[in-house]
Structure 1
Amino acid sequence: MLDLTKIAGQLPDMGRHLRQQANDGRERVERGIALLGAAQQNFQQLQDLYARWGDRLIFNCAVPLEPLDTRVMISAPPKAHTVFATDGSQIAPSHHEIAYCYLINVGRIMLHYGQSLHPLLDNIPEVFYRPEDLYVSRKWGIRTDEWMGYCRTASEGQMLAEMACKWVLPPGSHEHIPNVAMVDGSLVYWFLENIPLEARERILIPVLEAWQRLRETKIPLLGYISSTRSIDAVHYLRLAACPHKNPDCATHCLDQTTGDRRPEFRETLPCQTIEPIRDSTLWNNQLKPGERSGIWQSQSRILQMYPPEDQVCFCYIHVGAEVARVEFPLWLAEDEKLLDQTLGILLGQVNKGFGYPVAIAEAHNQAVIRGGDRARFFSLLEQQMVKAGLKNVGVSYKETRKRGSVA
């Protein structure tokens, strides 16, 4: 049990620390706004510098596809439209349970507006128990619970494309109705960068094939990121803050012998004049509610495996309650009219969801596995194991003791 009395004595110091952080943050934002203005004045020069010296940078930054001072008011959504969304949840494997297995549950949402049609709100669970499901990742040095998370990501993308294309594709049915497919989180699967190629392809290729079906069907795809911690747009401003004529980090900031940062730059580099500051914090002071920033293109390494049409772009949108990061493929970024319509539908979803897209929230609610669901799942599994003639079915002594604790 948590002793709140002991915690109470630590909170005043924490309050003073947070107040000081807030004051420092306001100063960084002011410097960031000034640096953003200076970067816009030298926009073409910075673009040329990145094109020439981008491979010499020791940090990853996004590249703007529009001027830095771009501000676009998003149009209202069309009266009739359809929104698709998926989200997932899981029961992780545990050696203390009655059987070593895991479950992935994907919630599916299809909402129709202005069409007098019933919505789809359901979920598709799948149990993984075969050795090839449980132990295949070990040959790549990946834990089973980590692999389960990767598989869930692939399932969400595949089911989203299957649901959306099945609804839109039949000729003469719904292809003329504006629509959008949405997921919670980033479209840049950076977490796959450091796993072996064979494992990466097993997860990423099915997702990219699903995105291809969406692209061929002209169904816009969006990744919505709330409370984003991204800094790759702020990193681009480091080009403007670099004190050298050429931003050659490898020469100016690294020790040529060891390849590490030079001793005087261990804590911070000369170009890090406004960090730590997030992209959303900077654009929160630049955008009005309903406006979007200019479009940026991500340069993450994992995108080298993406096809050209599905390179991930993003912008920041002031949705009223916050500034959110919205990601979409390059083919959508290049279609100005379709992008504006798609972002209008997204903004409508945020308004309907009181600050968060209602379709994604409902997909989460369909997918989430609560304590009671978990208990019923293992109870059903236990019944099946007994029917199959298995003996000594039960949880470990450790789990039994924890469940029966009187503390």
Structure 2
Amino acid sequence: MMLDFLKLNQQMKGVGNQLQAESKAMRQRLARAQHLLADLADRQDLVMQSLAQTRSKATFLIAEPAEELRLEGHWGRPVPAIAPRHCVLATDGSQIKPSHHEIAYCFLINIGRVVLSYGTAERARLDSIPEIFYKEEDLYGPQHLGLNIEEWLAVQRSRSEVRMLAELTQQESPLPTVALVDGSLVYWQFEEVPQLYQPQLLDPLLDSWEYMAQRRIPVAGYISASRASEGVNLLRLLACPHALADCEQHCPALKPRATPCGQGLTPLTDAQLWQTLLQPGERSALWRSTSRILDLYGPHRVYFCYLHVGPEVARIEFPEWVATDQELLERVLGCALNQVEKGHGYPVALAEAHNQAVVRSADRAQFFRLLEQQMVKAGLSRVQVSHKEARKRGSIA
């Protein structure tokens, strides 16, 4: 037995005590956040004007409300049901990561694709498109961008997911259509890339979004169990005891929980806060993300809201052209609610796209067997894994 449960059991009491203390602290954080949010809603325009000069002094990411936070005394806005006849497109990706211990240094991306038409007799379409990357420019081209191979793989996967989603929209459909991806539409990791090369990474993604915008097919990112706290971070500015919030000047070496603004609020996520304010089927006000990379998005700057889908409060992200078009916005949110209901807690289209994309251990083994056969046919005599990998596979433990 590799895991000693007898020794582990001795530590469980401490875990239970810690969770109990965290539960009490969470209730206190929620009460404080609700109070600050209500204060913000009562004088939203005035507060946002006063914070305009201080936002740039914060060292944490802050979102801006794009609507009134509270409407006619209510935090939640009801979401109309989507039309019974509609179409949902979804993609999701999986991969085989490159490893120097394998028989060849390469990687594979597999994109699951799903087309679900409702209210028609048309059958569901489910398939996957694999692509192998093995050329020198595939593996070492991103070095000048400051990306390692795994970060580059993530970039390629995101681009493939969005590109194939746009390709699905090329097929004409008379039905109102929504395009879904799993995860955020804010590619914040690109901020670490030199500015000169950021458009090179982003443009293929934005071109796909533009194609869907021209066809009035809204794209949205569905984020389950979101850990984002951009809205709560705005409340931290309200909680700052200094006349002018300036993190570098007043709190340069303090961790978030130790700062005056973070005490009593951190760690608290937006989703945890909105869980206490929304009823099932309601959405929050729209918010505008202020991540630096979004300055390159143009008309595709990302907005988001929190949607109570029943089992949880999910974060839904979409480009500005969706947020500012009432019909497209309601279509996206109504679709998300409908998909979660059909998927018993998670959008069924995204779940099926994941199932199509996932690369299981047996698939991975078959992939390398096929690769080995091709290497032998090519006349390569030494085709084997590293001694470390061989030893792990042949462990006697």
Shared fold, TM over 0.5: yes
Which of 370, 374, 383 matches 2:360?
Answer: 370
- Structure 1 contact 49–246 (Cα < 8 Å) conserved: no
Kindly state the Cα deviation for residue 198 of structure 1 after the two structures are TM-superposed. 4.9
Tell me, yes or no, if structure 1 residue 331 matches structure 2 residue 334: no
TM-score, length basis structure 1: 0.92
Kindly state the Cα deviation for residue 250 of structure 1 after the two structures are TM-superposed. 5.5
Match of 2:294?
A: 303
Kindly state the Cα deviation for residue 25 of structure 1 after the two structures are TM-superposed. 0.6
- Structure 1 contact 38–240 (Cα < 8 Å) conserved: no
Query: How is 1:207-286 mapped onto 2 (pairs within 5 angstroms)?
Result: 207-249=205-247, 253=250, 260-261=252-253, 268-272=258-262, 273-286=264-277
Query: How is 1:2-401 mapped onto 2 (pairs within 5 angstroms)?
Result: 2-69=3-70, 70-164=75-169, 166-168=170-172, 174=173, 176-249=174-247, 253=250, 260-261=252-253, 268-272=258-262, 273-307=264-298, 309-401=299-391
Kindly state the Cα deviation for residue 246 of structure 1 after the two structures are TM-superposed. 4.3
TM-score, length basis structure 2: 0.94
- Distance in 2, matches of 1:135 and 1:305, equals 25
Distance change (3 Å), C-alpha of 1:289 and 1:405: same
Kindly state the Cα deviation for residue 239 of structure 1 after the two structures are TM-superposed. 3.1
- Distance in 2, matches of 1:317 and 1:267, equals 27
- Distance in 2, matches of 1:52 and 1:199, equals 30
Q: Quick one: which amino acid aligns to residue 318 of structure 2?
A: F
Q: Quick one: which amino acid aligns to residue 378 of structure 1?
A: F
**Secondary structure of 2:395's partner?**
coil
Q: Quick one: which amino acid aligns to residue 167 of structure 1?
A: Q
Q: Quick one: which amino acid aligns to residue 155 of structure 2?
A: Y
Q: Quick one: which amino acid aligns to residue 114 of structure 2?
A: I
Kindly state the Cα deviation for residue 2 of structure 1 after the two structures are TM-superposed. 1.2
Kindly state the Cα deviation for residue 183 of structure 1 after the two structures are TM-superposed. 0.5
- Structure 1 contact 49–247 (Cα < 8 Å) conserved: no
Q: In the TM superposition, what whole-angstrom CA distance separates every residue of 1:243-297 from its partner, at most 9, and x where no partner exists?
A: 344445565x25xxxxx35x7x886332224222110111100000000000000
Kindly state the Cα deviation for residue 350 of structure 1 after the two structures are TM-superposed. 0.6
Q: Quick one: which amino acid aligns to residue 233 of structure 2?
A: H
- Distance in 1, matches of 2:7 and 2:271, equals 36
Question: Where does structure 2 lack aligned partners over 5 or more consecutive residues?
Answer: none
Match of 1:257?
A: none
Q: Quick one: which amino acid aligns to residue 58 of structure 2?
A: L
- Structure 1 contact 151–203 (Cα < 8 Å) conserved: no
- Distance in 2, matches of 1:266 and 1:89, equals 34
- Structure 2 contact 55–62 (Cα < 8 Å) conserved: no
Count of aligned pairs between the two proteins = 391
- Distance in 1, matches of 2:32 and 2:50, equals 22
Q: In the TM superposition, what whole-angstrom CA distance separates every residue of 1:212-265 from its partner, at most 9, and x where no partner exists?
A: 1011111101100000000001111123323344445565x25xxxxx35x7x8
- Distance in 1, matches of 2:99 and 2:328, equals 46
> For the aligned residues, what is the CA RMSD?
1.7
Distance change (3 Å), C-alpha of 1:349 and 1:383: same
Q: Quick one: which amino acid aligns to residue 41 of structure 1?
A: D
Kindly state the Cα deviation for residue 167 of structure 1 after the two structures are TM-superposed. 1.7
- Distance in 2, matches of 1:41 and 1:136, equals 52
- Distance in 1, matches of 2:188 and 2:47, equals 26
Question: Where does structure 1 lack aligned partners over 5 or more consecutive residues?
Answer: 169-173, 255-259
Kindly state the Cα deviation for residue 338 of structure 1 after the two structures are TM-superposed. 2.4
**Secondary structure of 2:131's partner?**
strand
- Distance in 1, matches of 2:367 and 2:167, equals 27
- Structure 1 contact 290–319 (Cα < 8 Å) conserved: yes
Kindly state the Cα deviation for residue 145 of structure 1 after the two structures are TM-superposed. 2.2
Q: Quick one: which amino acid aligns to residue 354 of structure 1?
A: H
- Structure 1 contact 225–324 (Cα < 8 Å) conserved: yes
- Distance in 2, matches of 1:127 and 1:250, equals 46
